[in-house]
Amino acid sequence: MNESARIVTFKMDGREIGAREDETILQVATDNGIFIPTLCYLEGLSAMGGCRLCMVEVKETSKLVPSCVTYAREGMEVITNSERLAKYRIMLLELFFAERNHICAICVANGRCELQNLTVNLGMTHVHFPYFYPRVPVDASHERFVLDHNRCILCTRCVRVCAEIEGAHTLDVMTRGMDSRIITDLNQAWGSSVTCTRCGKCVNVCPTGALSEKGKAVADIAVKKQFLPYLTRMRRGKQ
C-alpha cells in the first residue's frame, strides 16, 4: 500500500465515509459492512471487472461504474443498491444460468456455491431467458482435480491465482465470446500438464462447482480464499 495516499471523504448510501484514495469503492464498502455482490473479484488478485455485478451508481453521472476498479474520490456520492441496480444484477445472474448447464441438485458445489448463494441473497427466483444448453466437456484427466466446464462462469479467478500467486500460469482462456473456455497449457488435458504444480489454489478460489477435488465429500471442499490476502501480505513484507 502506498504510504503517502491521501484520505478522501465521500458518501456511500447516504453515509459519510473516509477512505484512502488508493482504495476501490468495493474495498471501502466491504470495510464498512456494506455488501456489494461480485463473482469475479477476489481480494489478493488483480481485478478484471468481468461479471459486472459490482456496478454501482455514482450521483454525478448516469453511467454505472464497476466498484472493483473504481477509486474513491473526494466528494463523490455512491449508491450501492437501488431498484435499477437490483434489476440489472438479477438479469446478469439469469444470464449466467442460461449460458451453461448449472444443475445445482447434482453439482459438487451445491450448498457452498457463490453463484447459488447470490441468487438467494439477491432474490432471483427464475430464469426468463432461453437456455443455451451448450455441449461442454468435463476434464477429469488430472489425478487430483476436475474441471467441469458446465459450471464455469469464466470469472478467471483460477487463471489469475495460478498466474499471479502460484506463478505457474497453467490456466488461461481460449477463443472468444460464448465459446470462451478455460484451458490448461496449450489446450492439453490437465492431467498431462507439465506446468501444473498440483497446488490446488485454483480449486480453492473457484466460486462454483467448475473446479473440484476428486474424492472429497462436498462439505469438505469449502472455498478457501483467506490464504490470498495472507500470502500477498507476507510476500510483500519480505521484499
Partner 1 sequence: MHPDELLDLIDKENEARSRWKHTIHICTAAGCLSCRSDALKEAFDKEVAAKGLAEVCAVKGVGCMGTCNAGPMVRIEPGGIHYGPVAPEDVSEIVMSLDGDPISRLLCKESAVFSSRQHKIVLENSGIVDPERIEDYIASGGYTALSTALATMSPSDVIAHVVQSGLRGRGGAGYPTGLKWTTVAKTGSRRKYVVCNADEGDPGAFMDRSVLESDPHRVLEGMAIAAYAVSAFHGYLYVRAEYPLAIKRLAKAIRDAERHGLLGNNICGTTFKFGVQIRLGAGAFVCGEETSLISSIEGNRGAPRPRPPYPAEYGLWGHPTLINNVETFANIPPIIRNGGAWFAKTGTEKSKGTKVFAIAGRVNNTGLIEVPFGITLREIVFDIGGGIPEGRNFKAVQTGGPSGGCIPAEFLDMPVDYESLASVGSILGSGGLIVMDDTSCMVDVAKYFMEFSRSESCGKCLPCRTGTPQMYHILGRISEGGGTRYDVQLLEELCDLLKNTSLCGLGLSAPNPVVSTLRYFKDEYEAHILDKTCPAGVCAMASGRMVRQ
Residues contributing to the site for partner 1 (CB under 8 A): 47-52, 55, 63-64, 66, 69, 88, 91-92, 95-96, 98-99, 128-130, 132, 153-154, 172-173, 175-180
Tell the smallest beta-carbon distance from residue 84 to ligand SF4 (Å): 19
Sheet holding 145-148, edge to edge: 138-139, 145-148, 211-213
Given the complex with ligand SF4, which of 15 and 198 has the nearer CB atom? 198
Compute the CA torsion angle 48, 50, 51, 52 (nearest 10 deg): 100
Given the complex with partner 1, which of 138 and 173 has the nearer CB atom? 173
Tell the smallest beta-carbon distance from residue 176 to partner 1 (Å): 5
Residues 156-195 that bind ligand SF4 (CB under 6 A): 156-158, 161-162, 166, 168, 170-171, 182
Nearest by Cα to 197 from 224, 170, 226, 215: 170
- DSSP state for residue 163 in the 8-state scheme: I
Phi, psi of 136 (to 5 degrees): -130, 140
Selected from 92, 118, 155, 223, the binder of ligand SF4 by CB under 6 A is 155
Quote the distance between the C-alpha of residue 200 and its chain's center. Answer: 17
Given the complex with partner 1, which of 96 and 190 has the nearer CB atom? 96
Sign of the four-CA dihedral 63, 67, 73, 74 = positive
Given the complex with partner 1, which of 75 and 111 has the nearer CB atom? 75
d(CA 98, CA 214): 27
Q: Which does 202 bind (CB under 5 to 8 A by kind): partner 1, ligand SF4, none?
A: ligand SF4
d(CA 149, CA 211): 9
Given the complex with ligand SF4, which of 108 and 205 has the nearer CB atom? 205
Tell the smallest beta-carbon distance from residue 224 to partner 1 (Å): 25
The DSSP H or E segment spanning 57 is strand 55-58
Q: Which residues bind ligand SF4 (CB under 6 A)?
A: 152-158, 161-162, 166, 168, 170-171, 182, 196-202, 205-208, 210-211
